[in-house]
Amino acid sequence: MDDISNNTLEKALSRSEADALIVLKSMHTCISTMKRYATDLKVGKVSDFQSAMNEIEKFELIVRQQIATMKAGWTFDVDTYLDSGAFIKEILAVAEQKSVRVYERDERIYSYPNLVRLFSSERAVSIDKKKERRIRPTVLVEILKDSQKKPTRSRPEPFLEALYRAYKTIGQGKAKTMLLDGTVIPLIDIWELLTLLPGQAKDYPKQEFTRDVYLLHKSGVIDTRDGAQVSFPFNRNVPGKILSIINEDGEEKKYYGIMFTKQEKSK
C-alpha cells in the first residue's frame, strides 16, 4: 500500500489498528497483574498486596493515556470520503495492486459477476443486494476476489421465461404475428415493465438487469419452453435506449433490444 496516498481509509484504519493493539497489550498486562492480585487475596499473601496494587494503578494510568491517544488519533472523515468518490478510487487502486479484476463505471463497481453498490449513508456496500459492512479496502477487495472464484449463481432459464412473458405483455394489442416475426422491443421497456411497482426500480436497477441479460446471453440458453428463440439485436441510433454493462474483461457490453422468433410448425 506504500504507493497509495496516505489520505486513504486503508491508511487511517491501519494507524488506528496499531493504536488499538498498543492499548490491548497494556490491558493484557494489567489483567495479568490483576489476576495475580486476586490469587494473592485468595491465599492471603498479604506481603505482595501493595506492590500488586501499585502495578495495577500504573497500568490503569497508562491504559487511560493510550486510549486517549487512540481516540484523538481517529480524525478521518469517513462520510465525506465515501461521498466524494475517493473510496471507489481506492478500491480500484487496491484491486489493481492485488490483481483482482474490478472496474468502475458511473460510480458503480463491477466485480464480475457481482455489482457493488455503495451506501455511503450506512457506511456499507452491497454485493448483489447482500449488505456488507466490512469496507476496509484490502478486506473488501479480498471479499470480491473470493466471490469471483465461486460459480455464477445465474439461472438463465427462469430469467429467459420472465423476459418472454414481459415481451408478450408489451406486444399485446399489436398484430398477432408479432411474436412470430421477431419484432424488436427495447430492453429498457422490458425492465420498466418488470419494475412497475413502487420501489422495485431501486431494488432492481438497470445495471443489475443488464448484468442478468449479459449472463443469459453468455450462457447460450436461447429457447423458451414453448419453442421461441431469443436474440438481442443492437441499434446504435437510439442512444436513450442503450443499456451497458462492464464484463469480466473490463469491456463495455451494450444492449438495445430483445427479439423472439418462433418457427411455425409445418402441417
pLDDT tens for each residue of 248-267: 888 899 999 999 988 765 54
Assess whether pLDDT exceeds 70 at residue 237.
Answer: yes
Do 126 and 119 form a contact (C-beta atoms < 8 A)? yes
Global pTM value: 0.79
Q: Count CB neighbours of 53 within 10 A.
A: 13
Q: Nearest CA to 141 among 21, 8, 7, 245? A: 8
pLDDT for 215 beyond 90: yes
The upper half-sphere exposure of residue 29, i.e. CA atoms within 13 Å in the direction of its Cβ, equals: 15
C-alpha cell at 215: 449472463
DSSP state, 266? Answer: P
Q: Widest CA span of the chain, in angstroms?
A: 108
Confidence of residue 242 (pLDDT cuts 50, 70, 90): very high
Q: What local confidence, expressed as pLDDT, does residue 3 receive?
A: 43
Q: How far is residue 189's CA from residue 241's CA, in Å, rounded to a whole number?
A: 9
Alpha carbons 27 and 127: distance in angstroms, whole number: 37
Q: Does residue 76 register a pLDDT over 70?
A: yes
- Averaged pLDDT of the chain: 88
